[in-house]
Amino acid sequence: MDIATQSIDGGFAEPVFNAQAVFRAIMDAMARPGTVQPLPQRARPPAPLSATAGAVALSLCDNDTPVWLDQPLQAEAAVKAWLGFHTGAPSANTPADAHFALIVNPKEMAALDGFAQGTQEYPDRSTTLILLVDDLASGPSLLLEGPGIEKTSMIAPPGMPRHFVEQWKQNTQRFPRGVDIILAAPGSLACLPRTTRIKTMEA
């Protein structure tokens, strides 16, 4: 299949209702960090972008939001063409310019503090990271607490960035600045807003 066909196929079948359903899953996940929100397949982006990450991008990105792609995605012309056709989002030159970052290989990703952190006056001008993970249960356990969590909650995404717990600790200490993370797994997603604290991490 040539790039032109790949870039046009695979968008939302029902753009209005699908975007709403995906957003509600993200909103619920962001409001209740650590909960896993099911997300049936609604988009079919070209590999290596996953259906979940693609759907998140379709529901949130447009020509107002520069998107940064990590190296494996950057190398894939079909992904860029697909995002360009369906969202119209410009690509960010550096992580610090990005409103959203799509990261297919979190293990090798740049440091969290390299992305836009917002300012003390405008902490909302920060990057939202969309990390592609294989699942939300097979990795090292992350015990979470903070706003949106009654006592504690737990997720265990595999293949997280290097020194993630330490990096995330620094991220929460920068509050109100900092980045937020959407973990896109096949068929589901979870969120880590900057307020969420990781209590312990079992090896």
Chain positions contacting other proteins, by CB under 8 A: 15-17, 19-21, 23-24, 26-28, 30-32, 59-62, 64-65, 99, 119-124, 126, 128, 147-150, 175-176, 180, 193-195
Between 55 and 78, whose beta carbon lies closer to other proteins?
55
Q: Which CA distances in Å does 103 have to 109, 132, 146, 202?
A: 7, 6, 25, 24
Give least dist CB 180 to other proteins, A: 5
Under 8 Å between Cβ of 155 and 142: yes
* Nearer CB in complex with other proteins: 76/180: 180
Q: How far is the CB of 137 from other proteins (least distance, A)?
A: 22
Which residue lies nearer to other proteins by CB, 44 or 174? Answer: 174
Structure-token pair, residue 163: 């020194």
Amino acid at 51: A
Dist CA 153 CA 151 (whole Å): 7
Nearest approach, Cβ of residue 35 and other proteins (Å): 10
**Measuring CA to CA, which residue among 61, 59, 62, 51 is closest to residue 22?**
59
CB of 123 to other proteins, least distance (A): 5
Cβ nearer to other proteins, comparing 65 with 105 = 65
**CA–CA distance, 122 with 114 (Å, rounded to integer):** 17
